[in-house]
Chains A and B, each alone.
Chain A
Amino acid sequence: MAASELAQYVATGLLVGGVYALMSIGLALIFGVMRVVNFAQGDFMMLGMYLTYYYAVALHVDPLLGALLTLPPFFVLGLLVHRAFLVRVTGGGDPNREMDAQLILTLGLSLVITNATTMILSPMPRGINVPYASRAFAVGPLLLNQARAYAFLMALLLAAAVYVLLTRTDLGRALRAAADDPEAAGYQGIDVRRMHGMAFGIGIALVAAAGGLLATYHPIEPTVAVNFIVLMFVAVVLGGLGSIPGAFVGGIVIGLVQSLTLLLLPLQLQNVGVFVTFLLVLYVRPQGLFGRRARTV
């Protein structure tokens, strides 16, 4: 196999991985701050794809801009969902049992969103027609799909913005404090419950934007969530549950694994590579690449 072919697979994997990384950051932020594994994350991504689609169809907004415009409404939606449902099963009580309750609550939410979308918008797949989806940049011997390249750059930009938000602002410091030690954060005057809402809102907004970017080159349908939620879980576990830089790297790795699996296995088995990687990481290093092993006796 030519070196250029390998490079092509790596480049494709990186570009796709950038968008996975953005999705996974949202999931990791929610887990990091709230200790909630959000099964409905993929469904918010799907809704973000649809909103971007309607921006493009009804308002003629380019999906790359449309993806950004999903941020504010989905942030508000996240706040509302947190207030309406998640507060009831977060905070106080046995953390293990609580986590089970949250998992099942968000699984229920995911079912409702997927099926309600099917009911309202029909199961028919849709797509956004953008000219750059079928063009490619030629970089040396490599061909980079333009839609994927733009989506990759936007994803990096948003991820950098999240990094600045978390490290350089008061809100970011409060979020990190609430994540590290909710009790101590409470004593410092941080409204932990409000931080949970913020984390959920930001996490949902990020995954919706990632969905918008994905919509430039991926068909839009109500059941698209199933495939991506598992990829996000894999990325987040790979990076260490709750670690945001870890989730970013995890997302990139998943893109690479998916792409490079094609060298070894037929296309239908593409995701088997991802799942096997997932299981291997769990067995060998369950705390992930960046997580610290917590042991309490």
Chain B
Amino acid sequence: MARARGWLGIAAVVAVGLLLSFGLTERYHHRILTLVFLWAVMGLAWNIISGYAGQISFGHQAFFGIGAYVTVLLAVTLKLTPWLGMLAGAGVAVLAALLIGAPTFRLAGIYFGLATLAYPLIFRIVMDYLGYQEVAIPMVRDRPALFMQFTEPRSFDLLALALLAATLVLARLIETSRLGYSLRAIKENEQAALAMGVDAFRCKMAAYALSAAPAALAGAIYAHAILFVVTPDAVFGVIVIVQTLVVCLVGGVGTLWGPLIGAAIMIPVSEILDSTAGDRLPGIQGVVYGAALMAIMMFAPEGLFWRVRRGRGAAAPAAAGPPIAAAVSTEGSDAAARPAPAAGSGAVVLDVRGVSKAFLGLQALADVSFDARRDEILGIIGPNGAGKTTLFNVLNGFLLPEGGEIRWLGEPITGLSPHLVCRRGIGRTFQVVRFFPRLTVRENVMVGAFAHGGTPAAAAALAREALARVGLTERADTLPPGLTTLELRLMELARCLATAPRLVLLDEPLAGLSIDGIDIMSAMIRRVRAAGITVVIIEHTIQALVRIADRLVVLDQGRRLAEGAPGDVTRNPAVIEAYLGKRWLARHAPAHAADLRT
């Protein structure tokens, strides 16, 4: 239903656009209509990389300017029709996006935004230098239509409207595709997205290239409909990105309709102000845009679209907690039915040899070796600061170890990117649950389900299945901030299971849970193992782990202290010392050592 509504919305926009275009009579009104359409296109283009993917670009006018300059220069030098020229412009812009993106996406957050500032500035200076300060579109009186020189102002409306419709379709296709889900996941939590198999770099590059093309086409049409003389300032200048930001931010970032709403409000206002007061007050447009940006950030930073939607109460508060416990408590029998394999009986699947990692002189991991065997639950314990999470970060590719080797199913995976580790079949969860807050529970899990490709429908089916496995079916449409700690941990587990792992790394899955919660989660972990998935768990409390783990590895200050069956490990004096200190050991050992297990 929502799907159909999106396409109907686009059809409605086109219908209203046509009505306006054929209803308006004054040339000036047509100009405003053309501008509304063009800036809506620019807003939508920017929205693809900065709204969906959250990579704020302050240099998007680079592509707008490339579109305008390439088209016009081709017409001047080769007499090429702008209809083909603007396609060439879009091609050059896409190429530029790939060339700019490849180094720039290595930068995160604010650094990316600052770097993008530099590109249009460079283009601007270079255009000045090359002598293209003013490039007039050559007049071709005998074949005006072929050279996009319409006398009828309506023609430009319709041209801009066609581009707007095409851009809306493009944005809509991205929104509902695997790429769209990946981009939103990257925006919400890039680390979690990587761990779920999202190739963040490629997704950003794709989004950047896709957003460059409409921007370039808008620039080409803008040059013919409005400018007639292309100058570096008019197409690479700050005002271009400012207008783009204004229409997006006022309307609402990350939505299909936001840029359109923003353009429909802001462009007529600023045009009318400029034409009525612009002579007496040069710069009135800039003041209005600046004030609009400030006001929207202070009072409605999410933009009008989200504000109105939230005001209507679209997101109803979640119902009271579903009976998770009931759904899961029976599962103890399920695990019991399948005799747990004796510890260490299976073949080695994950082999860690001599892994070391240091941070600024602190040795977080020193020559750590252990292995995980098929179908076992391996517990890794150690006091705070023992290097447990660092170990996981090395195993799933977040960190590069300085030494040692990791082999998975016999193949080395040391230094492999996190998304590739995930796709090879190693899933993970995080000590502090890393969810995508603005994606529903189902969509969160779908991001995991996309790890091995597939259509959104297939991913939704996998997500449904994974949610059913952890008993969260009824919470599928909730946003994660509305979940309890237990539900969040179960959701993260479901997301991890949706990647179809053969081994899962669980980082303190029991932390922060109530006693009931620990029972539910423990039962869930046994079920995961029963489904043929090897489990490696980090915990710093021994008690909970002793009950579910087949084997324990003890880490202390980055070193492997002990390894063995839970009962043996907890009686090991070195382990007791690491946890409770020498003096405790001297006073109580060995008589009380067994207490640790209870």
Chain A interface (Cβ < 8 Å from any Cβ of B): 37, 85, 88-89, 96, 99-105, 107-116, 118-119, 123, 222, 226, 230, 233, 237, 241, 266, 268-269, 271-272, 275-276, 278-279, 282-283, 286, 297
Contact = CB atoms under 8 A, between A and B. Distances in A.
Given A103-B56, A269-B125, A272-B125, A112 B287 contact: yes
Contacts of A101: 297, 301
B129 A269 contact: yes
B128 to A, nearest CB: 6
A85 B294 contact: yes
Given A107-B242, A275-B122, A115 B285 contact: yes
B111 A111 contact: no
B347 interface: no
Interface centre among B117, B249, B290 (most CB of A within 10 A): B290
Interface stretch (B276-284, B370-378, B545-553): B276-284
B113 interface: yes
B289 interface: yes
A102 B281 CA distance: 28
Interface residues of B, number: 46
A109 B286 CA distance: 10
A103 to B, nearest CB: 7
B171 to A, nearest CB: 20
Contact of B125 (A99, A119, A268, A278): A268
Given A115-B286, A230-B118, A268-B129, 5 more contacts: A103-B56, A111-B286, A119-B287, A123-B282, A297-B393
Contact of B287 (A88, A96, A115, A268): A115
B125 A271 contact: yes
Nearest to A96: B109
Contacts of A282: 104, 107, 111, 114-115
B56 A100 contact: yes
B293 interface: yes
Interface class of chain A by DSSP: helix
B106 interface: yes
B103 interface: yes
Nearest to A282: B115
A279 B129 contact: no
Interface string B99-133: 00001101101110111011001100110110000
16 contacts: A103-B110, A108-B293, A110-B290, A111-B293, A123-B283, A222-B283, A230-B117, A230-B118, A230-B121, A268-B128, A269-B129, A276-B122, A279-B118, A283-B106, A297-B191, A297-B398
Nearest to B130: A268
Contacts of A104: 245, 249, 293, 297
B341 to A, nearest CB: 32
A269 B291 CA distance: 33
A41 to B, nearest CB: 13
Contacts of B238: 226
A42 B109 CA distance: 22
A58 to B, nearest CB: 24
Nearest to B125: A272
A202 to B, nearest CB: 22
Interface string B534-557: 000000000000000000000000
Given A89-B297, A112-B287, A279-B118, A266 B129 contact: yes
Sorted nearest first, the 10 A-B pairs with minimum C-beta distance are: A111-B290, A108-B293, A115-B286, A115-B283, A112-B290, A108-B294, A118-B283, A105-B297, A108-B290, A275-B118
B298 interface: yes
B131 to A, nearest CB: 10
B292 interface: yes
Nearest to B295: A108
A271 B121 contact: yes
A279 B59 CA distance: 13
Contacts of B294: 85, 105, 108-109, 112
Contacts of B115: 278-279, 282
Nearest to B113: A103
B137 interface: no
Contact of B399 (A226, A268, A271, A297): A297
Nearest to A84: B298
Given A88-B298, A96-B109, A226-B238, A116 B129 contact: no
Nearest to A123: B282
Contacts of B129: 266, 268-269
Contact of B301 (A89, A110, A276): A89
A102 B294 CA distance: 9
B125 A111 contact: no
Given A89-B297, A111-B293, A297-B191, A283 B103 contact: yes
A99 B110 contact: yes
A226 B289 CA distance: 16
B250 to A, nearest CB: 11
Nearest to B112: A282
B266 to A, nearest CB: 13
A109 B290 contact: yes
A116 B283 contact: yes
Contact of A107 (B128, B245, B287): B245
A116 B56 CA distance: 27
Contacts of A275: 118, 121-122
Contacts of A272: 122, 125-126
A222 B287 CA distance: 13
Contacts of A88: 297-298
A108 B282 CA distance: 17
B292 A108 contact: yes
Nearest to B238: A226
Contacts of A103: 56, 110, 113
B283 A114 contact: yes
Nearest to B393: A297
A112 B111 contact: no
A177 B75 CA distance: 60
B435 to A, nearest CB: 13
A100 B117 CA distance: 14
A288 to B, nearest CB: 10
Contact of B297 (A108, A113, A268, A279): A108
A226 B281 CA distance: 20
A114 B297 contact: no
Contact of A111 (B107, B117, B242): B242
A107 B238 CA distance: 11
Contacts of A105: 293-294, 297-298
Contacts of A89: 297-298, 301
